Amino acid sequence: MCRERVNECSGPITWCNRSADRHRQDIPFRKIVHENAPANNVYEVISGTVCTCKVLKNGRRQIAGFYFTDDVFGLESAAKYPLAAEAITKTEIRIFNKQTLTASASFNGEVAHHLLTLTARELARQENLLFSLSRSAEDRIVYFIVEMVQRAPPKDGRIALPMGRQDIADYLGLTIETVSRILHDLERRGAIKIRYRSIALRDQFVEGRAGELPDLFEGIKGRQPETKQELDEWLVSLEGRAATIFNLTFLSRWGERARS
């Protein structure tokens, strides 16, 4: 079990002194939080990758989320943590006392706004995941790839996948065999190129699809591009390439249009 060192910083997470090593922990592949432990702290990922998870009655693990550099977890308003948190790579975290953050938010509007933004972002991620679980296995894999494009730090222009395929399966409610089969099928069809713990998006031509491209942009961003330059820059980004390769037209990251 990790020994916690509580950060008493009164400001929001991103304002804290990142050189204050006494507030940090290096965690080599082990539990950070145990399920049902007292929910006293909030955690910020400095480096590495963390997952939150729960072991179901049938013995299978369900991963609820992945957290990368600068992500925050443990914001639940509950007396006990409903999920465990595990480091799935060598991870460095910063720990904050939840009561201290709550007290700061009560008299500092900027702190309150920051915490509200973090909470809203987490709720949106959970909503998107819940929606994806109602779709086909291939759609779930595509959702996961796009989520990693948007959230995971890129590695030499590639989509970094610090988690293993069993982790991906536990996140998407699939078997590891299904995850491997669909990834290799996407590679065979020329959409991606798989390397160890990373994926490259293969270049796809967009000629003849000019009328579709603003809708693809809207499908991910939730709005139309303001200028042609904005659209062009987005199309060459990892996110834009993923949208064109997988022909994503879901409004606002798998939103209302996908539900209709």
Q: In one letter, which amino acid is 245?
A: I
CATH of 13-130, one of 2.60.120.10, 2.40.30.170, 3.40.30.10, 3.90.550.10: 2.60.120.10
Flag whether pLDDT at 12 surpasses 50.
no
Distance CA 11, CA 7 (A): 10
Is the distance from CB of 199 to CB of 161 less than 8 angstroms?
A: yes
The proportion of the chain whose per-residue pLDDT surpasses 90, expressed as a percent, equals 27
User: How far is residue 68's CA from residue 162's CA, in Å, rounded to a whole number?
Assistant: 10
The three-class DSSP label of residue 142 is helix
- Length of the chain in residues, anyone? 260
Question: In the predicted model, what is the mean pLDDT of residues 159-184?
Answer: 94
Domain with CATH 1.10.10.10 in the chain: 135-259
**Is residue 55 classed as helix, strand or coil in its secondary structure?**
strand
Closest CA to 64 of 73, 51, 48: 51
Which residues does residue 85 pair with via DSSP β-bridges, in sequence order? Answer: 33, 52
The DSSP annotation for 197-259 comes to TEEEEPP---TT-TTTHHHHHHHHHSS--SSHHHHHHHHTSHHHHHHHHHT---TTTT-HHHH
The alpha carbon of 143 is separated from its chain's Cα centroid by a whole number of angstroms, namely 11
Q: Which amino acid is at 152?
A: A
Question: Residue 211 corresponds to which amino acid?
Answer: G
DSSP track, 96-141: EEHHHHHHHHHH-HHHHHHHHHHHHHHHHHHHHHHHHTTS-HHHHH
Reported confidence tier of residue 197, pLDDT bands at 50, 70, 90: confident
DSSP codes of every residue in 148-203: HHHHSPPBTTBEE--S-HHHHHHHHT--HHHHHHHHHHHHHTTSEEEETTEEEEPP
More confident residue, 154 or 122: 122
How far is residue 2's CA from residue 259's CA, in Å, rounded to a whole number? 42
Options 3.40.50.720, 1.10.10.10, 3.10.20.740, 1.10.2020.10; CATH for 135-259 is 1.10.10.10
CATH 2.60.120.10 residue window(s) in the chain: 13-130
pLDDT (tens digit, 9 = 90+) per residue, 207-236? 455 667 787 787 777 788 899 888 888 877
CA triple 55-56-59, angle to 5 deg: 80
Determine which of 6-15, 60-69, 112-121, 164-173 has the lowest per-residue pLDDT on average: 6-15
Whether residue 19 has pLDDT greater than 50: no
Global pTM exceeds 0.85: no
Burial (Cβ within 10 Å: 0-12, 13-18, ≥19) of residue 229? exposed
**What pLDDT does residue 241 have?**
74
